[in-house]
Structure 1
Amino acid sequence: MRREYINYPKDVPVLISCANIIEYPIHWHNSIEILYVLKGKFYVTIDSDKYELVEKDIEIINIDEAHSIYSE
């Protein structure tokens, strides 16, 4: 498990990225994470709870909440 520190651009407290995720191991952040599914589906595990996200779903993950992401 690892902690990720998000470095934001100067004067903008938001970092936006688009990714194709196959597997992202368990980690946590110093900020919230908002996931939005553009296409397909993937799974998010937060603590011991597993959630399936499909196209147009949004998931908000709290600060310091350990989570992992993967698709099949």
Structure 2
Amino acid sequence: MEQFELELIAKYGEKDEELKQLWDDHISYEKILEKYETKPFLTPVEEQEVKELKKKKLAGKTKMHTILDKYKTAEE
């Protein structure tokens, strides 16, 4: 995420519950994925979970960008 987007999340996250939830989920998925990245070997089940987490993270990020675009427009 770019600095400007992080600032918008900080500014509007308290007011916009959906944005806050998406950001919290994004951070949570990132932490879980980092734990998997430290493992030297993943089981097939873990590999599948990593794929699902990445999909959820990307979907959430897409929704976040849509919300942030509205706030960017309002800021201009």
Q: Normalized against structure 1, the TM-score is what?
A: 0.21
Structure in which a larger fraction of residues adopt helix: 2
Structure number with greater Rg is 2
Please give the TM-score of this superposition, normalised by the length of structure 2. 0.20
